Amino acid sequence: MKKQRRGKRKRSAAGKIGIFCVVLAGTVLVLGISVGAAWLWMNHSGERRLAGRQEALPEQMQLPETQAGTETQEGTEETQEQLEAGSIRYKGRIYTYKKDILTFLFMGIDKSGEVKASSNLFQGGQADSLFLAALDPQEKKISVIGINRDTMAQIDTFDKNGLSAGKQTVQIALAHAYGDGLEESCENTVNAVSNLFYGLPIHGYCALNMSVVSTLNDAVGGVELVLPSSADGLVKGWKAGERVHLNGKEAYRFIRYRDTGKAQSAEERLERQKLYLTAFISQAKKAVQEDMTLPLKLYTQITPYMVTDVTADEAVYLAGEALSYHFSGEDLYSMEGTVKMGEKFEEFYPDETALYELVLKVFYEEG
């Protein structure tokens, strides 16, 4: 009679599969908790960092020349000094700066490929696209102001040795060209825009080489919009008034193309960029709702093509906040003004009163 061998019993195939499923489920759960915890940590860290940026208050906004005489006659120069920091008086009413608003400058640079330092202080790349975005937590609203790249503004200039050559009034897109093509160029543009907007605090910036639009477009699943008249025939088969779904290359051409031989082509392109931005933000919000890790993935993916002082955790926080904020075409503003032909290129002169009142509308509250 054979002795019965003792030892471990062999598990059935079904048993092995069951154990594997339990391990897999546990692993997924742990990963999910880890990802969630990491997202929460970055979200909290980003919120804390951004709060530190909001300490600066705007200096007293100088009244446009068209209104200064009226206000002075009312004796507001004397009472203006008695107002609290961040408050101003305009047409007999008091406006207070929204201290918790966050303002960012986005720049599209006329370069392709990865970001590289410029060896020439005059070739840092022009900012062909300029948008000032404001996140208002009180109203849960995002406001965006499109800035014409030909806007005449005071910018800091430098000589070939990098020494200050004083200020010049030129197209604001050139502010980025003066510098290293990296942080110096961005900071020079931020200063120019802040000065143009009456000393408005700008809490962060992001400059992207324009070609990266293709990557961003496809990452959110593409953008759908109705073609304006300026896009008629821009891509083979495109007709004004038709609804199209843009792939990466089409999106790049849609926002980048400009017929420099046509009058006011910069303004025409800006209108297309505004149209695209409205559709992109809407699509991006849907994509982030489906994948909360998307902002961090995109931030990492486009880093080689970007210069920014917004950290990854700040970007994660901002993306999460933006999901609950309202944004539509009505929240996308243009600067009023006139276009004149300069010696070589077009020059856009903003309506100072209209710009002043736009700043009050977006960044201040009455009372």
Q: What is the DSSP secondary-structure string of 124-184?
A: S--EEEEEEEEEETTTTEEEEEEE-TTBEEEEEEE-TTS-EEEEEEEEGGGGTTSS-SSHH
Mean per-residue pLDDT pooled into runs of 10, the chain (367 residues): 45 48 41 42 65 68 51 44 79 92 95 86 85 94 95 88 84 92 94 94 94 94 95 94 96 90 84 93 93 91 95 90 89 94 92 96 92
The tokens of 70 are what?
């009226």
Q: Residue 240 and residue 109: Cα distance in Å, rounded?
A: 27
- What is the per-residue pLDDT for 35? 39
Report field, pTM of the whole predicted structure over 0.75: yes
- What is the per-residue pLDDT for 103? 96
The tokens of 44 are what?
């909290």
Q: 91: how many CB neighbours lie within 10 A of its CB?
A: 13
- What is the per-residue pLDDT for 77? 47
- What is the per-residue pLDDT for 69? 43
Cα-based torsion angle of the residue sequence 135, 141, 145, 146 in order, rounded to the nearest 10 degrees: 100
> What does the DSSP assignment read for 302-351?
HGGGEEES--HHHHHHHHHHHTTSB--GGGEEE--EEEEE-SSSEEEEE-
Q: Residue 253 and residue 233: Cα distance in Å, rounded?
A: 12
Express each pLDDT in 208-249 by its tens digit: 998 899 999 999 999 999 999 999 999 999 999 999 999 999
Q: Give counts: helices (H), strands (E), the chain.
A: 10, 15
- What is the per-residue pLDDT for 67? 47
Q: What are phi and psi of 332, to 5 degrees?
A: -110, 115
Strands (E), 204-330: 204-209, 223-226, 243-246, 306-308
Count of CA atoms in the C-beta half-sphere (13 A) of 45: 13
